[in-house]
Structure 1
């Protein structure tokens, strides 16, 4: 092997993990109800897209259910959005979140969860158990109202 080929075998990428929380602890909003989660989500949603395309977001929470951040995970089309569990949990791990609340909008205004919504919630709840990240709720958001899986007894055990 020539020297150039040998050197290229030893090139590897480095990964750097950085997290900065600029909001002081005492200024974080504590989420005590699905209504508070909905208010935070609605305030962070681009109102020009809420009734147009489906998007998936998560609220990242600390141990006292204080909101660390809102993160947009994915944007889809008019009737579907693919939320990648790897992206969801990578985001939660990076922010040191101990809990998350899932949320996506239904541009149609229909608050009924689909089977895909229920299946994804189960999958993420199970994944969260492995990582000690509680998946506390899943909200379906519209511009006028919301539906909480937790409030309606739809969260998997």
Structure 2
């Protein structure tokens, strides 16, 4: 298990997070640029090593009823990946994502090798995969698009 100081060092390596002292020696870290009402990425990091990372918008992650994931026993790699995914889930759309997606009914970010981001969008009963402004693929169903993305090494943050 990582110590409180080790966890703080890892979390503070993300310059987009702002440290907020709370009671009993605990620390929260906020992402002020969040497009969601939620701004807290790390919640109640405690000197005993316990704490939580917000994962309410992450798929495939087990969360509590507040959308939090316990990080007590996380390794450095796990903690770093989880904090990065949490920030990404709260981040504003890039200009190319906004240009491509606009106000569609369903969209998802998928992250792949070398942190490449693809956008999966449902429009006119089809599923489109975009890399920036470029259309990569089109599919008839969500399942087909999901299978393709997973096959190519992508996952939802």
**TM-score, normalisation: structure 1:** 0.28
**TM-score, normalisation: structure 2:** 0.28
Q: Work out which structure has the larger RCO, using CA pairs closer than 8 Å and 6 or more positions apart in sequence.
A: 1
Q: Which of structures 1 and 2 has the bigger CA Rg? A: 1
